[in-house]
Amino acid sequence: MPNSIHDGASLKQDIGREEAGPSRHTPRQERWYLIMLALVVTLLVSLYPTLAKSPYMGSADLHAAIETVGALFGLIAGFALVMRFSTLGNRFHLIIGLAFFVNGAEDLAHGLLSFESMHGFIGVPTSSLVRFIPVTYVTGRLMLGGMLLIAPFARAWLKESERPIRETVFGSSAAIVLTLIATFVAFRMSLPQLVFPERLISRPVDFLSALLLLMALAVFLREYHRSLDMLTWWISLSIGINFVGQLMMSASKALYDPCFDIAHVYKVLGYAVPLVGLSFYQVAILKHRRIALQSAFRQAALLQAVNKVLLESLRCETEEEVAKTCLAVAQELTDSKFGLIGEVNEAGKFDTIALTDPGWDACRIPEMAAVRMIKDMEIRGIYGQVIKDERSLIANDPASHPSRVGMPEGHPALISFLGVPLKQDGKTVGMIGLGNNESGYDPVDEQAVEVLSIAFMEALHRKRAEVELREHREHLKELVEDRTAALEQANAELEERNRDLDEFTYMASHDLQEPLRKLTAFSHLLQEDMQKDEPEEVSNDLEVISSAAQRMQTLVQDLLVLSRSGRQSMSWEEVPLDECVAQALDALAVRVAETGAQIRTGHLPSVRGDRRLLTQLYQNLIGNALKFHGDEPPHIELSAEKAGNRWILGVADNGIGMNPEYAEQIFLPFKRLHGRRKYEGTGIGLAICRKIVERHGGTIWVESEPGKGAHFKLTVRGQVGKEGE
C-alpha cells in the first residue's frame, strides 16, 4: 500500500459490502455477470446455423454415453445442492437440488435404457424400451423446467427450514415418488408423435421444455437481480445453457444429428455449471469466514483494549498515567513500535502528555532538547495534518508524504504512521500518534484506534474530574482548617485578653482603692487626733495621708505606662541595644549614684523593635535590680548571647533574689513579694516588661534563688543581626 491515505468513508464501504454477505455480487458486478450470461447463451445459440448444415451423424452408443455422463453430473449437482440445504436450511436450494437430482435420475435411466436397447444386457423387452426411453427423457426435461420455475416462488413462500435433515429425507422421497408416478403415468399414456422432421420445430415437446426453462430463466434472473446471489447466477447460467440445449433439441430432425448431439452436450454442460458455481460459492464463503473470524478477533481485541483503558485508568493517579496506559494499549493493538499522545494547548501548540517507553528509548535526542520539544511543538507536518484536518490519517510511506517536514536529528526513523485525532464535543483537542507497524497500518487499525480514542477521552475526562474534585476538596479542607485555626487563635487571644482584663480590673480596683481608703481613713483619724490634740499622731497621720496621695499618683502613672506599652503603636526599626541601655542608665543616674551600683555591659546587638519600649524595658529591669539589692551595693550585668538564630538578653544582679515558685507571678500587675515597708513599689514594673517583650514577639523569665541574685532573661523576635556575627 505505497503512499495510500485512507479515510473513514472507504472503510464504511468495505464494511457495507461485507455485511451484504459472502456470496453476493455488487450491482456493478451484476451487469457484467448478466452480460456474460447473455454472451454464453448467444454463443451457444450461434452455433445453430453451422450445426444445421453439418453432415455429422453420431451414434446410439455415443448418445447413451453422453446421456449417462450428463446424468451423473446432474445427480451430483442435485445431491450437492440438497446437501447444502440439509446443512444451511435454505429450501430454495432443496427445490433446485431436487430438480437436478430428479432430472439426473431420469437421464440416467434414459442413458442406461439406451445401452440396453442396443446390447440387450439384461433382456428388457424392446416394446418396453421403445416406450421407456422417450418417457424418461421427456419426464426429466419437463420436471427440470417445471421445478426450476417454481423454485424462486417457493423461496418467497417458504421460510428457512428449522429441521433441514428431516425435510431433506421427506423432500427427496417425495421427489422420487413424484418422478416414479410421473414416469409411470407417462408410460401408460399413448405417446404423441415426438418428431416432425419437416417443421422448423421438429420436436415440440422439447420446445415446450425449452419454454419452461426460458420462463424459469426469467424468474431466476429476476431473483438474481433482487438478491445478487452468486449461486442464483450460476443456476441461471445452467438454466440458460439447458434452455439453449432444449432449443437445439427441438430443432433436431433425426436421432444423432448435430443438433441432437450438441443438445446433449449442452445438457452435460448445464449440469456441470451448478457444480462450478457451488465451488465458487464455497470458496467465497470460506474466504468470508476467514475475514469474519479475523474481524471477530480484532473486535474482541479492541473491546478488550477499550476495557483495559477504562479499567486501568481507574487505578491511575494522574492523567499522564491514563494517557500512558491508553498509549500502551493502542500500541499493542496496532502492533506499533512507539507512540505519543498529546493535546493542543492554549497557545495553539502541541503538548505531549505521554510517550511510550519504547518511544523514549528509540528517541536519542539529547534529553533537554527532547523535553523542550515535546511541549509547545508547532502543529505541522504529518501529525499536524491530523489535527488540522480533524480526521485520522495513515501514512505508510511517511518519507514521501506531501505534508512531511522532516524530523529532528535523533528522532527514531519512521516507516509507517497512524494518527487519530482526539475529539471533545466534536472539536479536535489532541492526537494519538502511532508509528512503525512493520507491514503498515490499515483502515481496521485506524478504526480501532478511533474507538480507543473515545474510550481514552472518556477515561481522561473522568480522571480530570476526579483530580479536580479531589483538589477542590483538599483546598476546601485546607481553607476550613486555616479558618478554624485562625478563629481558634483569635478566640484564644480574646479569651486571654479577657482574662488579663478581668485580672487587671480586679487588681486595679484593689490597688487603686487602697490609697483612697487610706486617705479617708486617716483623714478621720487626723480629725480625731486634732481634737485630742496629739501633735505627734497628727503629724503621723499627715505623713500617711501624704504618702497615700503620692502612692496614688505613682500608681496612676505606672498604670498609664503599662497601658501605653500594651496599646501604643510600635515602630519597627533596627535598634542598637547599647543605645537603649545608655538612655535607661541616664534616667536612673541618681539611683545608681545613691546605691553605688556597678554596672557592666557586654556587647549588645541591634534588634528589630521599638526604641522607646526597649529603653523602658531596660530601665525597669535595671531599676528592679537597683531596688532589690542585698547588703552589698548592687552589681548589675547586662549580657546578650546567641541561641540559634535568636538573642537571649540578660539582666543579672546580686540582689536578694526570690523563691523560684514566685518566678511567674512577679510579672503579673500589682504582685509584690515584699511588704511595702521594705521595698516601695507599685508592682507594675515587671508587668510592663512582660508586655513590652510580648509585643516584640518574645518571652521573659527569671532565674533566681533567695539571696543569690536574680537573672532576668528575655528573647525578642528577629534574626541574629550582622552585629552578632
Contacts to other proteins by CB under 8 A: 506, 509-511, 513-514, 516-522, 524-525, 528, 540, 544, 547-548, 659, 662, 670, 672-678
Q: Least separation, in Å, of the C-beta of 553 and other proteins? A: 16
Q: Least separation, in Å, of the C-beta of 623 and other proteins? A: 18
Is there a contact between 357 and 324 (Cβ–Cβ < 8 Å)? no
Q: Least separation, in Å, of the C-beta of 516 and other proteins? A: 7
Residues 6+ apart with CB under 8 A from 263: 206, 245, 246, 248, 249, 252
Provide the 3-class DSSP secondary structure of residue 246. helix
CB nearer other proteins, residue 344 or residue 684? 684
Residue 432 cell numbers, joined = 494519538
Count of other CB atoms within 10 angstroms of residue 640: 19
Is there a contact between 715 and 648 (Cβ–Cβ < 8 Å)? yes
Q: Least separation, in Å, of the C-beta of 643 and other proteins? A: 31
Is there a contact between 707 and 631 (Cβ–Cβ < 8 Å)? no
CB nearer other proteins, residue 299 or residue 540? 540
Q: Least separation, in Å, of the C-beta of 556 and other proteins? A: 17
CB nearer other proteins, residue 32 or residue 506? 506
Q: Least separation, in Å, of the C-beta of 704 and other proteins? A: 13
CB nearer other proteins, residue 322 or residue 548? 548
CB nearer other proteins, residue 372 or residue 510? 510
Q: Least separation, in Å, of the C-beta of 513 and other proteins? A: 5
Q: Least separation, in Å, of the C-beta of 711 and other proteins? A: 20
Residue 117 cell numbers, joined = 436397447
CB nearer other proteins, residue 265 or residue 525? 525
CA distance linking residue 542 with residue 519, whole number of Å: 10
DSSP code string of 615-647: HHHHHHHHHHHHHT--SSPPEEEEEEEEETTEE
CA distance linking residue 623 with residue 688, whole number of Å: 13
Compute and round to an integer the Cα radius of gyration of the chain.
Answer: 60
Q: Least separation, in Å, of the C-beta of 581 and other proteins? A: 29
Provide the 3-class DSSP secondary structure of residue 413. coil
DSSP code string of 72-90: HHHHHHHHHHHHHHHHH--
Q: Least separation, in Å, of the C-beta of 596 and other proteins? A: 26
Count of other CB atoms within 10 angstroms of residue 47: 16
CB nearer other proteins, residue 304 or residue 505? 505
Terminal alpha carbon distance of the chain: 79
Is there a contact between 619 and 589 (Cβ–Cβ < 8 Å)? no
CB nearer other proteins, residue 528 or residue 573? 528
Q: Least separation, in Å, of the C-beta of 649 and other proteins? A: 27
| Ramachandran area for residue 653 (φ above 0: left; ψ -120 to 50: alpha; else beta) | beta
C-alpha torsion sign, points 25, 27, 29, 31 = positive
Provide the 3-class DSSP secondary structure of residue 22. coil
Instruction: Select from 65, 180, 132 the least CA-distant residue to 124.
Output: 132
CB nearer other proteins, residue 141 or residue 551? 551
Is there a contact between 418 and 333 (Cβ–Cβ < 8 Å)? no
Instruction: Select from 694, 690, 692 the least CA-distant residue to 702.
Output: 690
CB nearer other proteins, residue 522 or residue 618? 522
CB nearer other proteins, residue 317 or residue 534? 534
